[in-house]
Amino acid sequence: MTYVVTENCIKCKFMDCVEVCPVDCFYEGENMLVIHPDECIDCGVCEPECPAEAILPDTEEVAEKFLEVNREYSEKWPNITQKGDAPADADDWNGKEGKFEAHFSPNPGDS
Ligand code: SF4
Ligand code: SF4
Protein backbone atom coordinates (compact mmCIF):
# COMPACT_ATOMS: atom_id res chain seq x y z
CA MET A 1 0.00 0.00 0.00
CA THR A 2 1.03 3.60 -0.53
CA TYR A 3 -0.52 7.01 -0.35
CA VAL A 4 -1.20 8.73 -3.67
CA VAL A 5 -1.58 12.36 -4.74
CA THR A 6 -4.74 12.69 -6.80
CA GLU A 7 -6.30 15.14 -9.25
CA ASN A 8 -7.24 17.92 -6.89
CA CYS A 9 -3.61 18.77 -6.25
CA ILE A 10 -3.36 20.05 -9.85
CA LYS A 11 -3.04 23.83 -9.82
CA CYS A 12 -3.53 23.84 -6.04
CA LYS A 13 -0.12 22.66 -4.99
CA PHE A 14 -0.36 24.07 -1.47
CA MET A 15 2.61 21.90 -0.44
CA ASP A 16 1.69 21.53 3.23
CA CYS A 17 2.25 17.83 2.68
CA VAL A 18 5.98 17.89 1.95
CA GLU A 19 7.04 19.28 5.30
CA VAL A 20 5.49 16.46 7.32
CA CYS A 21 6.69 13.46 5.33
CA PRO A 22 9.25 11.56 7.44
CA VAL A 23 10.88 9.95 4.40
CA ASP A 24 10.82 12.90 1.96
CA CYS A 25 9.07 10.99 -0.80
CA PHE A 26 7.29 13.88 -2.55
CA TYR A 27 8.33 14.92 -6.06
CA GLU A 28 7.45 18.17 -7.74
CA GLY A 29 5.89 18.76 -11.11
CA GLU A 30 5.06 22.10 -12.65
CA ASN A 31 1.56 22.15 -11.21
CA MET A 32 1.19 19.16 -8.88
CA LEU A 33 3.16 16.89 -6.59
CA VAL A 34 3.37 13.10 -6.55
CA ILE A 35 4.45 10.48 -4.00
CA HIS A 36 6.99 7.78 -4.85
CA PRO A 37 5.01 4.59 -4.15
CA ASP A 38 8.10 2.56 -3.24
CA GLU A 39 9.44 5.17 -0.82
CA CYS A 40 6.18 5.97 1.00
CA ILE A 41 5.99 4.12 4.32
CA ASP A 42 2.19 4.46 4.55
CA CYS A 43 2.33 6.49 7.73
CA GLY A 44 -0.68 8.60 6.69
CA VAL A 45 0.69 11.77 8.27
CA CYS A 46 0.37 13.81 5.07
CA GLU A 47 -3.26 12.95 4.35
CA PRO A 48 -4.93 15.34 6.84
CA GLU A 49 -2.38 18.10 6.06
CA CYS A 50 -3.58 18.57 2.49
CA PRO A 51 -6.04 21.48 2.25
CA ALA A 52 -7.24 20.10 -1.09
CA GLU A 53 -7.87 16.61 0.33
CA ALA A 54 -5.88 15.32 -2.63
CA ILE A 55 -3.87 12.65 -0.77
CA LEU A 56 -5.55 9.27 -0.48
CA PRO A 57 -4.52 5.69 0.30
CA ASP A 58 -4.28 3.54 -2.83
CA THR A 59 -7.08 1.38 -1.49
CA GLU A 60 -9.53 4.10 -2.60
CA GLU A 61 -10.79 3.61 -6.15
CA VAL A 62 -10.03 7.16 -7.25
CA ALA A 63 -6.46 6.82 -5.99
CA GLU A 64 -5.89 3.66 -8.00
CA LYS A 65 -6.18 5.67 -11.21
CA PHE A 66 -3.46 8.03 -10.04
CA LEU A 67 -1.07 5.40 -8.75
CA GLU A 68 0.61 5.04 -12.15
CA VAL A 69 0.88 8.83 -12.51
CA ASN A 70 2.59 8.98 -9.10
CA ARG A 71 4.90 6.12 -10.00
CA GLU A 72 5.87 7.47 -13.42
CA TYR A 73 6.45 11.08 -12.46
CA SER A 74 8.17 10.42 -9.12
CA GLU A 75 10.91 8.90 -11.29
CA LYS A 76 11.08 11.98 -13.52
CA TRP A 77 10.49 14.99 -11.26
CA PRO A 78 12.81 16.47 -8.59
CA ASN A 79 12.42 15.65 -4.92
CA ILE A 80 10.84 18.36 -2.79
CA THR A 81 11.12 18.64 1.00
CA GLN A 82 10.35 22.28 1.73
CA LYS A 83 7.13 24.13 1.19
CA GLY A 84 7.23 26.77 -1.54
CA ASP A 85 4.63 29.41 -2.37
CA ALA A 86 1.26 28.09 -3.51
CA PRO A 87 -0.05 29.57 -6.77
CA ALA A 88 -1.97 32.81 -6.18
CA ASP A 89 -5.12 31.28 -7.68
CA ALA A 90 -4.81 27.93 -5.87
CA ASP A 91 -8.06 28.37 -3.94
CA ASP A 92 -9.98 29.04 -7.17
CA TRP A 93 -8.92 25.64 -8.53
CA ASN A 94 -9.67 23.67 -5.38
CA GLY A 95 -12.40 21.15 -6.19
CA LYS A 96 -12.64 21.86 -9.94
CA GLU A 97 -13.51 18.81 -12.06
CA GLY A 98 -11.56 17.53 -15.06
CA LYS A 99 -8.25 19.08 -14.13
CA PHE A 100 -6.16 16.10 -15.15
CA GLU A 101 -7.37 16.06 -18.75
CA ALA A 102 -7.26 19.83 -19.13
CA HIS A 103 -4.33 20.96 -17.01
CA PHE A 104 -1.94 18.19 -16.02
CA SER A 105 1.62 19.22 -16.90
CA PRO A 106 4.34 16.58 -17.39
CA ASN A 107 7.01 19.23 -16.85
CA PRO A 108 9.13 19.19 -13.68
CA GLY A 109 8.69 21.80 -10.96
CA ASP A 110 11.33 24.35 -10.09
CA SER A 111 10.83 25.53 -6.51
S1 SF4 B 1 -0.87 19.67 0.25
FE2 SF4 B 1 -2.23 18.62 -1.17
S3 SF4 B 1 -2.66 20.11 -2.80
FE4 SF4 B 1 -0.86 20.74 -1.68
S5 SF4 B 1 0.84 19.94 -2.81
FE6 SF4 B 1 0.37 18.50 -1.18
S7 SF4 B 1 -1.01 17.06 -2.17
FE8 SF4 B 1 -0.96 18.84 -3.46
S1 SF4 C 1 1.97 8.55 3.92
FE2 SF4 C 1 3.75 9.15 5.15
S3 SF4 C 1 5.50 8.39 4.01
FE4 SF4 C 1 3.77 8.37 2.61
S5 SF4 C 1 3.90 10.32 1.53
FE6 SF4 C 1 2.53 10.61 3.29
S7 SF4 C 1 3.85 11.40 4.93
FE8 SF4 C 1 5.19 10.50 3.36
Cβ(92) – ligand 2 distance below 6 Å: no
pLDDT at 13: 79
Q: How far apart are CA 96 and CA 111, in angstroms?
A: 24
Cβ(11) – ligand 1 distance below 6 Å: no
Per-residue pLDDT of the chain (111 residues; tens, 9 = 90+): 999 999 999 998 789 999 999 999 999 999 999 999 999 999 999 999 999 999 999 999 999 989 999 999 999 999 999 998 889 999 999 999 999 999 999 999 987
Cβ(21) – ligand 2 distance below 6 Å: yes
Query: Residue 71's domain spans which residues?
Result: 3-83
**pTM, to two decimals:** 0.95
Q: Does any domain span residue 22?
A: yes
- For residue 86, what is the DSSP state? P
According to DSSP, the residues that pair with 35 across neighbouring strands are 26
Q: Does any domain span residue 91?
A: no
Helix (H) or strand (E) holding 93: helix 90-93
pLDDT at 28: 96
Q: Does any domain span residue 105?
A: no
According to DSSP, the residues that pair with 26 across neighbouring strands are 35
Q: How far apart are CA 75 and CA 92, in angstroms?
A: 29
Task: Judge contact between 14 and 95, C-beta under 8 A.
Answer: no
CATH number for the domain spanning 66: value is 3.30.70.20
Report which protein residue has its CA nearest ligand 1's atom 1: 50
